[in-house]
Amino acid sequence: MRAMSCQHYSQHEHGAKSFTVVMPKITFGRGCLAEIGVRAKARDFTRVALFTDPFLRNGPYFETAVNTLQASGIDVAVFSEIRIEPDDNTIIAAAEFLRDGQFDGVISVGGGSTMDTAKAGMVYALYPAEFTDYFGPPVGAGKPVPGSLLPHIACPTTSGTGSECTSVAVIRINALNTKFVVGSPHMMPSEALVDPACTDTLAANVVASTGYDLLCHALECYTARAYAAWDYIPEPNSRSLLQGSNPWSDMSARAALEIIRNYLVRGVNDQTDCEARDQLMWGATLAGMAFGNSGTHLPHAMSYGITHLMDNITTNDYQVASPFVPHGISVMVCAPAIFRYIAEGAPQRHLSAAGFLGANAKDAIPSDAGEIVAEELIRLIRRTNGPNGISGVGFNVEDVKDLAASAVRQSRAIQNAPRVVEQQEIENIFTSAVSYW
């Protein structure tokens, strides 16, 4: 490990002394979706809950999953009442479905919304509670999930969320009209089948949005507060996997950033470029491995302000009613302004990350780091026809105070940033993110 990294992970008084890595068994490759039945049979599944979304239920990937499960002698019941960007009503309905089904396994085939619904649905099916009990402060009581869930085989169909490799779910709480994260090591899927052929039919803007999510997962993980800077928790089972950057997350995040450098523009702009689509799918899994064991920070925290206050907006290539801004786009629109500001907290890490993305940082000095990262992100947004800052998703400078007041509630993610930010700094960043060109 280079000296820079050793210094980054130097021990702090009262800081964490170790980090933990958890991930599912992963199979990657074209055609592996057809192995669901055999793999479920090997786990002694006899009756499974199959989660998918309404858009996929009549499509070929769902058909493949059902056929191979049934061919293996496994009974299948389907839950497809999944809202894109699931809310508490979605999770409550999923929990009721699971509670009544006498299942011995769960399969999810879909994007992050589907996988997150399966994970969170199991929590409330097996351990009923007030809905916010398992969410952290300030929105919830921060209670730990009491025990294990059903075995879960997750099969992503988009190349961004990495949810097949994480122990969290992002859920909109309707009473607050805002997304928050619920997490527990028990929510990690048991196995993941990552079939990049599922992305062949994705429209350009979907690949762009999910690619932005992949990019920000990796960049946030690599630049996050070091695990050793978090307070030491004596009880091992009480430690969060959202533990800050660590050598494992560095390795996965770096590889994911290099994939973005080489394949994001190709994958967005040419639907027939199977090499690019395959690489982006692998990059999403790598970034999931990273953030599932480190956590994200400000771009994700601030994105929840955008999806809270969005109004009268739709997004090309998404069949979702207004108001709707896809998760990846909501994360990316603030990212250049965020990294321009926070790079001061870990300039060498930011310069390294910029280099992984393809920026020329060879002769840069630490004070250049924020601008180099920001300019590389803006270049990628423009080459993939992304929106010009928050003005591109319906906001202007008059909205920044409300956006910041909403985002500041994402306390864990904000604390994972390499530089301390308070509400005023978040307002300033939103102002800088109104437009970039």
| pLDDT averaged over every residue in the chain | 96
Closest CA to 139 of 432, 329, 378, 409: 409
pLDDT tens digits along 358-414? 999 889 999 999 999 999 999 999 999 999 999 999 999 999 999 999 999 999 999
Which residue is listed with tokens 């793999």?
39
Reported in sequence order, the residue ranges of 128-270 that DSSP labels E, i.e. its strands, are 152-156, 168-173, 178-183, 191-194
**If one looks up domain 3-19+202-432 in CATH, what number appears?**
1.20.1090.10
| pLDDT of 14 over the 90 cut | no
pLDDT at 7 over 80: no
Q: Do domains 3-19+202-432 and 31-194 have the same CATH topology?
A: no
Closest CA to 25 of 204, 202, 178, 155: 155
Q: Is 291 exposed, middle or buried (0-12, 13-18, 19+ CB in 10 A)?
A: buried
Cβ–Cβ under 8 Å, residues 215 and 253: no
Give dist(CA 174, CA 295) in Å, integer. 24
Token pair listed for 409: 């509630």
Determine the pLDDT at residue 50.
98
Domain boundaries along the sequence of the chain: 3-19+202-432, 31-194
**pTM beyond cutoff 0.85:** yes
Please say whether the structural domain 31-194 has been given the CATH code 3.40.50.1970: yes
Residue 1 has pLDDT above 70, yes or no: no
Residue written as token pair 């920070």: 297
pLDDT tens sequence across 40-96: 999 999 999 999 999 999 999 999 999 999 999 999 999 999 999 999 999 999 999
What percentage of the chain reaches a pLDDT higher than 90?
A: 95
For residue range 263-315, what is the model confidence (pLDDT) as tens digits?
999 999 999 999 999 999 999 999 999 999 999 999 999 999 999 999 999 99
Backbone angles phi, psi at 193, to 5 degrees: -110, 110
The per-residue pLDDT for 10 is 78
